[in-house]
Structure 1
């Protein structure tokens, strides 16, 4: 590997009103390496990358690219220095074609100002073929899978002759197969000399891909280490400043009676004859590839999507659920996989979000009892250790982990018998994940039954009592967790047999 530093950032400091986001942070990136940037939510990773990509201006510090002291004053300037960024949220125009997206804002024209469409299509084909992709340049982006859109994002970044590529949670919405394809491309890019800064909360990716790791904590630089010389527990200690005794702190709760039973659940083209049960105090993990129907099962039980066939029983009693309001009334809650768009109202406060699903408890004669509502909100903030200046803080200003705790608090306030948790730890750091797992233990010890839908197999195996596997809208396997392995689950999820 060429050890010439592509990038040196040192003494980087950045403040916002009332907050010191970064203090004397440093980062060195070598040519041809995959360098993980690690830290809890709010550690300063995104701020540092926004400074590198020209979105934010630093207050102090120096940036060197290929040995030259530079000032990155805008995203355009960052591109000129060979810096590309692939955001967690796709930055493409769905209605435009692949080639139109790649050349958006810098279209090639002839002497008369006419677009050189064929040239741009050909160049797009070449870019994609370098990534081992045969995506049609004339296809509209909206017709592509998430993995294919990710490929277009990478091709777009490389079209700028990128030498420093920032990848922010690139696998968050990818299937297992798409993730493995992305890994191949990341390694291929590194071999060609591109330096990659990779941000992810998935520790498996860190050990599978990275050469070195830089850790930030509370806006400060903790250290840079060789991946091969560090253990999982050592990295966690660097991140959170303390030892974590176990990654999955699962406690065995005493199972009670069956709280949820689903029989023959179906909807044409999406779900077929789904039947399973959840007992009081039990965590039932539901695995499956993207598009397998995992999320659809949760939404159907909660009344967010219609059911054409099947029956739902709660505490042994048949119940009719035609809407989320019906589900809440009988004691079912749903933590959606997309907290920002479906789980929270970002423009409202922490307190308003927490009481959103349970306001009826505090109403009498059309008036809300403010004292009772505030007492409940304060109690849940304390119980779930939500880090917030107060209940009036806008929820959009919290870290991802604390936003997720607010979503959980909202459903705790309804006193659920069954809680459906769809991707409960997506996009939150390791420390916050452990706290959410402790909350799940607290719920099951209180007798709540949990249906946990997750794409992270270590989480399924680490926190479930029983495992269900979905494939193309069907429930294809059910097993005790002590009989399940990642290989067994993936075999069923891919349509095979154990």
Structure 2
């Protein structure tokens, strides 16, 4: 017999070791029926190992897993699915060439009495799940044609279609805008009411504060705060995660001057930029604010020469520039830290040095031969200054944490001495300690007279770290607002179609 006090799922004394590393050390977590449970901690704390164990990807070395009070064994991902466990990993598992419906039921296709795939049911059931989620995506749409945010919603739809007893969400909002995040959170609340146990893993602590019922915090592979021991607010969670007070969460310095270093006028591209006009000042952080798909990244790509301008002009340092490609932008002193560092920002088979110098090979070569001593001196200095892991030169970057990977991408542009840096979601998927390191680095850059264009779907981050915010809708910049005059709610309203709801006093063109 089970009772209301019996956990739906219980993980008791779970341990897992790799050569030289005890990743999980007697971890205990209890998931109650109809509860959203946050699993938190910095990168390297053991969260990913725990997720892999619970989803059947790997086996624990010791410990027990109980479902409704009875011991079970999760031998592989299929066993996890049969037990009612659905995992939405941070790295998508969708097949881009298949339809949305095919992806939702992949590996579990409805069958007719004769054993053939029931395509009508695939599409009707997919439509039902998507309608339940309030997601406007057609079941027959090709998944690879969807935006990153829509693909994330398809991943979540797979879990919903299973009617799982436990759903594990690993950074579920990393690719979502504010509207999509609220849509997801409402879905999770509905699932909670139906009795689903939800394990929620996220580095975005502001949304954790809004959605979870209790938290378990890991540090160094161990539980340092079990459910009910830490108050669910950002400052208390951060303190438990890092083992002490980290100081100001957003350590913003105001280094902006009145000198204009970049001026964009009437930018348009075939990729969706419709009318982008703004200026960027020396030492300034200019935020681009807008909902998912508003055109923020497209403006960044246009500035950096990735997408060709069909109309408009750009001035850099008071002189007109026309970038045929990214190399022209780099030579002019521009830099882009892309939204997806894994596919667009890093060479994963290189160590830190090869990644850091990738944009400056001509400057450190003699007669076409790379000067390894110059490369080593420069990269060693940046690794030390940015407090990048000492393992960065001993291992290829795919073995480093997300925070170290992000700092290596930024180090590339410091090595190149870029004057204007475009940071597209620079803290996405990295822990609180690494986020604060990025914020402090932004201060160091602007203090040195460099200028930053910041794109972030984290509205608190955008408002706290920007001097001004340019509101983007449908590829156009509608207004430029002093960040200190704008609230979170104002930004949500301003980036929606009803921009007139923002008071005139708050908007400065």
Shorter-normalised TM range: over 0.9
Matched, 1:285 2:287: yes
Displacement of 1:226 in angstroms is 3.4
**More off after superposition, 123-132 vs 192-201:** 123-132
Q: Following the alignment from structure 1 to structure 2, what is the Cα–Cα distance between the partners of residues 279 and 486? A: 24
Unaligned runs of 5+ in 2: 503-509
**More off after superposition, 437-446 vs 148-157:** 148-157
Q: Following the alignment from structure 1 to structure 2, what is the Cα–Cα distance between the partners of residues 164 and 439? A: 39
Q: 2:331 aligns with which of 323, 329, 332?
A: 329
Residues 200-253 of structure 1: CA deviation (Å, up to 9, x unaligned):
111121111110001011222111243983432221111111202111001122
User: Partner of 1:361: helix, strand, or coil?
Assistant: helix
Kept after mapping to 1: 8 A contact 2:10/2:28: yes
Partner of residue 399, structure 1: 401
Partner of residue 91, structure 1: 93
User: Partner of 2:162: helix, strand, or coil?
Assistant: coil
Kept after mapping to 2: 8 A contact 1:210/1:227: no
Residues 340-360 of structure 1: CA deviation (Å, up to 9, x unaligned):
111101111111101111122
User: Partner of 2:469: helix, strand, or coil?
Assistant: strand
CA RMSD of aligned residues (A): 2.1
**More off after superposition, 78-87 vs 153-162:** 153-162
Kept after mapping to 1: 8 A contact 2:351/2:392: no
State the TM-score, normalizing by the size of structure 1: 0.95
**More off after superposition, 106-115 vs 329-338:** 106-115
Return closer, same or farther for 1:435/1:93 CA change in 2, 3 Å cut-off: same
**More off after superposition, 185-194 vs 61-70:** 61-70
Residues 41-80 of structure 1: CA deviation (Å, up to 9, x unaligned):
1111111010011101111222111111122111111112
Displacement of 1:264 in angstroms is 2.1
Partner of residue 269, structure 2: 267
Residues 238-275 of structure 1: CA deviation (Å, up to 9, x unaligned):
11112021110011225263221212222246223322
Displacement of 1:306 in angstroms is 0.9
Matched, 1:205 2:195: no
Partner of residue 411, structure 2: 409
State the TM-score, normalizing by the size of structure 2: 0.93
Q: How many residues align?
A: 498
Residues 333-377 of structure 1: CA deviation (Å, up to 9, x unaligned):
111111111110111111110111112221122222211110000
Partner of residue 106, structure 1: 108
Partner of residue 355, structure 2: 353
Displacement of 1:291 in angstroms is 1.5
Displacement of 1:119 in angstroms is 3.8
Return closer, same or farther for 1:136/1:370 CA change in 2, 3 Å cut-off: closer
Return closer, same or farther for 1:401/1:98 CA change in 2, 3 Å cut-off: same
Return closer, same or farther for 1:24/1:114 CA change in 2, 3 Å cut-off: closer
User: Partner of 2:320: helix, strand, or coil?
Assistant: strand
Q: Following the alignment from structure 2 to structure 1, what is the Cα–Cα distance between the partners of residues 186 and 51? A: 24
Residues 354-413 of structure 1: CA deviation (Å, up to 9, x unaligned):
111112221122222211110000000001000132424200111111100000001100
User: Partner of 1:286: helix, strand, or coil?
Assistant: strand
Partner of residue 228, structure 2: 226
Partner of residue 507, structure 2: none
Kept after mapping to 2: 8 A contact 1:303/1:326: yes
Q: Following the alignment from structure 2 to structure 1, what is the Cα–Cα distance between the partners of residues 282 and 134? A: 49
Question: What does 1:440-459 align with in structure 2 at a 5 Å threshold?
Answer: 440-459=442-461
Kept after mapping to 2: 8 A contact 1:293/1:472: yes
User: Partner of 2:246: helix, strand, or coil?
Assistant: coil
Partner of residue 343, structure 1: 345
Return closer, same or farther for 1:472/1:128 CA change in 2, 3 Å cut-off: closer
Unaligned runs of 5+ in 1: none
Matched, 1:191 2:193: yes
Residues 147-173 of structure 1: CA deviation (Å, up to 9, x unaligned):
554444334224434101101111111
Partner of residue 12, structure 2: 10
Partner of residue 429, structure 1: 431
